[in-house]
Structure 1
Amino acid sequence: MKFATALLALIGTAFAETHHFQWNATYITGNPDGLADVDDLIACNGEYPWPDLRVKKGDRIIIDLYNGLGTDNCSLHFHGLFQHSTNQFDGVPGLTQCQIPPGETLTYNFTVPDQVGSFWYHSHTQGQYMDGMRGTFIIEDPDHPYKDHYSDERIIALAEWYHDNISTLTNSFLDLYNPTGAEPIPQNLLMNGFMNATINVESNTTYLFRIINIGGFVSQYFWIEDHDMTVVAVDGVYVEPNTTSMIYITVAQRYDVLVTTKNTTDRDFAIMQKIDDTMLDIVPDDLLLNVTNSLKYAEGNSWPKTYLVDDYDFLDDFWLTPLDDYENYDHYDHQVTIDVVMDNLGNGVNYAFFNNITYVTPKIPTLGTVLSANNDSDSLNAQIYGSNTHAIVLQKDEIVEIVLNNNDTGVHPFHLHGHVFQVVERGPDYSDEDGPIPYNESAPYIPRNESMFRDVLYVRPQSYFVIRFKANNPGVWFFHCHIEWHLLQGLALTLIEDPIGIRENEEPLSDTWKNVCTSCGGFVGNAANNTEDFFNLQGENVQVKPLPAGFTARGIVALVFSCIAGILGCVAIGIYGMADIPNMEERVVQNLSVQEREFLENEAGGVEEGESGENGSSGRYSDEIQNKKYSDEINTEYREINENDK
């Protein structure tokens, strides 16, 4: 058996191809939704959208990525790929590589020996892929179990779109004046890079649609007018056929579905995208929640009408069953329990936390710290990887269980690099409860005999999920929310899986990898860039200090507006106080009501119009009146703030 397996592997290697791409990332002017020109659309070799990559199982991929973005860094991550022994090309700055500075090139060089299906690639730099730096990555399977069920394929890449670039949006998002952490609202939804897309089909034909959400924020409901979809794979995992009329797809998830077209060509049908508007803090009046695309049967047919539905009865992916024999783990060796919290730190900005830690990038890539540690024993110590990387060291081959409790009221899709994981349990939506309901390990529960496996799973509001995987892929792997706004807020942790195995099995660091890191500060040392004492973290990157006790988001809002109102009041008082206004006292008193005049007369001992009291009393009256005016304005602002909070 071992000989046969080795022989098949050798044959596969002999027929494997090498695909070599030379990419230059640059900014261009574009208009993906047809509604607004943007000058900072990221293009590949001057073209948008970025190319769809299509390779075969066992092929080698070489991409020379040149950063032509002027003053901005970049990177490239291949979402869902295991990167066995090529962890250095997983593409996460601060974990497995350094940022690629402008004018530099990093060559990504890896094979895909044991994966097939629908994947994608994107920049992993500061939400940058939402400006266009993303594309699909298809690994063809010569032994596709459903190859006799369809005649052709179509790629459907979904995303949202903003008219402002991500750098501008981030500056206003991670800001004192956004203390509740409200995410920027997108302008539109895109399909295959543009709004109102067309998918050409022939009648009476079954297609494999590869539906990939390459967006950075909103989940989408997806359905096709009068056409069913049979799900046959998710996140590169084949599943038993399951037919549905609608899917719910979060960012970074992938669904392969079979769709059979009609026998007629006399009309086209609507392909619908719908924003999950429960993820939005507000829904602007001009936001188009439903976007219509065309399943086009023939030229000359009119554009299909928008096809709305009364309810969103979508497939629950938890109940999908893998087609292949994945090992289900009925126990765990290492349990990691993490609580998701969104809160403010001392600068007033809203951050995201796993167990009170908001992720902060180390000064040295964590992979560099693993490889440069003085010895194997030091590499097993989580301390050297930093206080704010939320580093967790995993032992070789142990069964790891991650329990995630969502203390937030929103949906969060979480992605694990380097693995697909077993979905053990996912709690219901507890958004109507008074508070979050955490996972109770002692509660009665009957697990599935054949659990679902995938690499992106969403948690419901104020609920939880439980996943398991085997630590059999040595590497530094990210576990993070794939909503880019939440990743920018720090909702991530680092898994250092089998550090000794990394040191033994990782391919030698490439020259371009080392050159890029050298230009960014190096790749040797601990998280604080200390090469002498790996346990001295002085000077490391850490999170902002916490707020003083008792401060809340509402308190921050009140404080901000109080400061603004106070400053305006002082400015106005100063202007009026220094101004040379003829007969100012008379004009002020004439505008007072009877009650206000009586009040002033009582306070000043009966000062008449135009008469000045001791110590410049008339000036004091002006200040009191002016302060009353601004006090009323402040009270009005507070009432509006409180009403908005409600």
Structure 2
Amino acid sequence: MPFLNRLFIWLGAAVVFALQCQAKTVTYDFNVTWVNANPDGLYERKVVGINGQWPLPVIEVEKGDRLVVNMYNGLGDKSTSIHFHGMYHFNTTDMDGPSMVTQCPVAPGQSITYDFMVNQNGTYWYHCHTDNCYPDGYRQALIVHDKDAYFNDMYDEEHVITISDWYHDLMEDIEPHFITLANPTGAEPVPNSFLFNDTTGLNIPVEPGKTYLLRLINIGAFVAQYFYIEDHTFRIVEIDGIYTEPAEADILYISAAQRYSILVTMKNSTDKNYPIVTVADSVLLDLISPDLQLNQTNWLEYNHDAAHPEAVMTVDVCSDLNPFDDITLVPHDKLPLYTNPDHKLEFTVTMDNLNDGAGYSFLNDISYVRPKVPTLYSVMSSGSLASNSTIYGEYTHPVILEENEIVEIVLNNADTGSHPFHLHGHVFQLVERYPSYGPTFYDHATGDPVAYDASNASTLPDYPARRDTFVVPPQGYFVIRFKADNPGVWLFHCHIDWHLTQGLAMTFIEAPTLIQERVKIPQQHYDICAAAGVAHEGNAAGNTADFLDLTGQNEQLPWLPAGFTAKGIVAMVFSVVSAFLGMGFITMYGISDLKKGGQGQDGSSSDENGAEY
């Protein structure tokens, strides 16, 4: 039997080697610098460009290719990284990209190479994963073409479409006013506009009778959007890289980070052009200025010379737009439901204040705080202690998973806002969600939160839909399952970038001893740590002498004293501000009186420069 085991290992290695020899290498060289752009035609600002250009290049590879991206950070004033959203990174978790999770931030003037095999297919994207960097424009599509996709003979051409929210101010100027005493409710900054392929008013030329594959990606930082095409229906064939059985639909709800591929067949006429309509989910916005245009019109252009009508929008998003429910999709491969979970986890999303008075996000009362050593590097340097969650720090919210465990996550949402949760390194099965899409999705948030109750669970699907980003409804819940078959360090977090900044994240350390065996971090990545002044060995506190000693770790701030509320903080702030303003006016009045009647020792009146009044 040992001989047979070795034989199987040798054969497997030979197959992998043969496949790698057949694969081609696709290389991109990225010089990341600031450039200027005015995508909405309303305001020119500096954005993160690549090779002096913006919008950024679309990364395109074929399933089975080796992807190499050489990135030089030429920003001058910002550290950065690249996360390849939706890539599994089997045995290359070190190429995943989130700073202080699987790598150190890449400091200005430094270079990093991402190098990994792409043994998957579908629609993805890439973006910066260091601080608040991707809303400044550092995000774009990543497409993995598949010559064996079952729907290849069902369409004639394809188009990649990105939708996003857009801010006129730099993130470095917005963020300091977000997590602050002056914003105790944690109200998210409202975008200034919404983009469609990084512009507005776009025409997509089409021909009558043809069928097009449209790859839709929400690369925004915050706002989900509804998508539909006037007088057209379509068939969904992919979500987040997973092929689905064709499903007829006429409207989609696409949260930040979600992707859909749809087949749209054109009409047999060139009499008119048809609006492609995107509508921002205004329920997510605390304040909507009168000049913020929530709906955008772009066009399927059948006839360049025909009219390009604006979409007529008189709908109430909460009641009139009823999108297709993604949980009902059936994967084309018919992967059965994972049964009898080995590891059951239950978390509750809350938003609350800490003792600085600012608003933060929590999973089971833990707000993620990044460690002093990237979590993956703690795995690699901790030896036999790698399976002890203590070493990763309390506030990275670490959970150790064993190889091939079936993991079930119940996510209860005690917040009145929705949250799109993304899991790195995996897709997960969509087991259950309450409430479903449609008018009740938000109407439910007028009552008390409803937590998952296994005794009242609905009938589970035989072949549940799978994706890597799933929305938990306001005051509702979802249940997901995945197989821990990918050793690595993987974040689970809300993909609303503001909520990630507030701490809505946790860390899965999956099969840590196998990570040590299989992952080989390049020396260049360690050099990047040295250049950034970040330790690459030790526990979350940077302690290499005693990995169980977390003294000095980065910590969550203490809780507010009992009895304080957000409203109370606001009242206190305004009271204090009013008091200071009042004292200021009294002081100014007093000084004014002195200036009018006061005299110096020589009997004259003057200002600080000696000018006489």
Same fold (TM over 0.5): yes
| 2:219 paired with 1:210 | no
One-letter amino acid of the counterpart of residue 136, structure 2: D
Cα shift at 1:8? 7.2
- Find the residue that maps to 2:125 and give its secondary structure: strand
Cα shift at 1:572? 2.8
| 2:271 paired with 1:259 | no
CA spacing shift, 1:232–1:309, aligned 2, 3 Å: farther
The answer for the alignment partner of 1:106 in structure 2 is 112
Cα shift at 1:300? 2.4
| 2:73 paired with 1:61 | no
| 2:57 paired with 1:51 | yes
One-letter amino acid of the counterpart of residue 168, structure 2: H
Cα shift at 1:579? 5.4
The answer for the alignment partner of 2:281 in structure 1 is 276
CA spacing shift, 1:231–1:567, aligned 2, 3 Å: same
The answer for the alignment partner of 1:548 in structure 2 is 561
Deviation sequence 1:193-246 (CA, Å, 0-9, x none): 112222121121001100111111000000011111100110011111111111
The answer for the alignment partner of 2:505 in structure 1 is 492
The answer for the alignment partner of 2:601 in structure 1 is none
One-letter amino acid of the counterpart of residue 63, structure 1: V
The answer for the alignment partner of 1:403 in structure 2 is 410
One-letter amino acid of the counterpart of residue 131, structure 1: D
CA contact (8 A) 2:337 2:461 kept: no
CA contact (8 A) 2:203 2:299 kept: yes
One-letter amino acid of the counterpart of residue 184, structure 2: P
What pairs up with 1:31-50 in 2 under 5 angstroms?
A: 31-38=38-45, 40-50=46-56
One-letter amino acid of the counterpart of residue 401, structure 1: E
The answer for the alignment partner of 1:146 in structure 2 is 151
Match of 2:361 among 339, 352, 356: 352
Cα shift at 1:575? 4.1
The answer for the alignment partner of 1:178 in structure 2 is 183
What pairs up with 1:629-644 in 2 under 5 angstroms?
A: none
Say which is worse superposed, 193-202 or 53-62, in terms of deviation: 193-202
Match of 1:85 among 77, 81, 91: 91
Cα shift at 1:13? 3.3
| 2:250 paired with 1:237 | no
Which sections of structure 1, spanning at least 5 residues, go unmatched?
585-646
State the distance in 1 between where 2:415 and 2:574 align: 26
The answer for the alignment partner of 1:426 in structure 2 is 433
State the distance in 1 between where 2:225 and 2:592 align: 59
Cα shift at 1:331? 1.7
- Find the residue that maps to 1:431 and give its secondary structure: helix
CA contact (8 A) 1:399 1:469 kept: yes
CA spacing shift, 1:432–1:98, aligned 2, 3 Å: closer
The answer for the alignment partner of 2:550 in structure 1 is 537
| 2:331 paired with 1:322 | yes
Deviation sequence 1:413-467 (CA, Å, 0-9, x none): 0000111111111011463443211111122421111111111100111000111
One-letter amino acid of the counterpart of residue 447, structure 2: D
Match of 1:339 among 343, 348, 366: 348
- Find the residue that maps to 2:514 and give its secondary structure: helix
State the distance in 2 between where 1:131 and 1:20 align: 24
State the distance in 1 between where 2:18 and 2:208 align: 39
Question: Identity of counterpart residues, as a percentage?
Answer: 45
State the distance in 2 between where 1:445 and 1:225 align: 35
- Find the residue that maps to 1:251 and give its secondary structure: coil
| 2:294 paired with 1:289 | yes
State the distance in 2 between where 1:273 and 1:46 align: 29
Cα shift at 1:303? 2.2
State the distance in 2 between where 1:476 and 1:48 align: 32
State the distance in 1 between where 2:342 and 2:123 align: 31
Match of 1:516 among 510, 528, 546: 528
State the distance in 2 between where 1:213 and 1:542 align: 33
The answer for the alignment partner of 1:415 in structure 2 is 422
CA spacing shift, 1:580–1:47, aligned 2, 3 Å: closer
| 2:377 paired with 1:368 | yes
State the distance in 2 between where 1:491 and 1:444 align: 26
The answer for the alignment partner of 2:36 in structure 1 is 29
Cα shift at 1:522? 2.3
Match of 1:164 among 152, 169, 174: 169
Cα shift at 1:567? 1.4
Cα shift at 1:14? 3.7
The answer for the alignment partner of 1:587 in structure 2 is none
CA spacing shift, 1:580–1:388, aligned 2, 3 Å: same
The answer for the alignment partner of 1:299 in structure 2 is 304
TM-score (norm 1): 0.87
State the distance in 2 between where 1:7 and 1:262 align: 50
CA spacing shift, 1:297–1:572, aligned 2, 3 Å: same
The answer for the alignment partner of 1:97 in structure 2 is 103
Cα shift at 1:34? 0.8
One-letter amino acid of the counterpart of residue 362, structure 1: P
Cα shift at 1:15? 3.1
Indicate the structure whose relative CO is greater, using CA pairs within 8 Å and at least 6 residues apart: 2
How many residues are matched?
579
CA spacing shift, 1:534–1:5, aligned 2, 3 Å: closer
- Find the residue that maps to 1:477 and give its secondary structure: strand
CA contact (8 A) 2:336 2:464 kept: no
What pairs up with 1:438-457 in 2 under 5 angstroms?
A: 438-457=451-470
- Find the residue that maps to 1:388 and give its secondary structure: helix
CA contact (8 A) 2:124 2:259 kept: yes
CA spacing shift, 1:583–1:470, aligned 2, 3 Å: closer
Cα shift at 1:71? 1.1
Which sections of structure 2, spanning at least 5 residues, go unmatched?
1-7, 436-440, 598-613
CA contact (8 A) 1:223 1:272 kept: yes
One-letter amino acid of the counterpart of residue 556, structure 1: I
Deviation sequence 1:236-276 (CA, Å, 0-9, x none): 11111111111110010010000001112232111111001
One-letter amino acid of the counterpart of residue 575, structure 2: S
CA spacing shift, 1:11–1:582, aligned 2, 3 Å: closer
CA contact (8 A) 2:445 2:474 kept: no
One-letter amino acid of the counterpart of residue 21, structure 1: Y
CA contact (8 A) 2:489 2:509 kept: yes
CA contact (8 A) 1:127 1:216 kept: no
- Find the residue that maps to 1:401 and give its secondary structure: strand
Cα shift at 1:582? 12
- Find the residue that maps to 1:193 and give its secondary structure: coil
One-letter amino acid of the counterpart of residue 324, structure 1: D
One-letter amino acid of the counterpart of residue 165, structure 2: E
- Find the residue that maps to 2:394 and give its secondary structure: coil
State the distance in 1 between where 2:394 and 2:445 align: 36
One-letter amino acid of the counterpart of residue 526, structure 2: K
Deviation sequence 1:293-324 (CA, Å, 0-9, x none): 11112332332322436421210001000010
One-letter amino acid of the counterpart of residue 527, structure 2: N
State the distance in 1 between where 2:262 and 2:596 align: 81
State the distance in 1 between where 2:448 and 2:433 align: 17
CA contact (8 A) 1:409 1:431 kept: no
Deviation sequence 1:364-405 (CA, Å, 0-9, x none): 0000000100x32x1111000012100111111111111101
State the distance in 2 between where 1:555 and 1:446 align: 44
State the distance in 2 between where 1:73 and 1:7 align: 40
State the distance in 1 between where 2:239 and 2:582 align: 59
TM-score (norm 2): 0.91
State the distance in 2 between where 1:573 and 1:22 align: 62
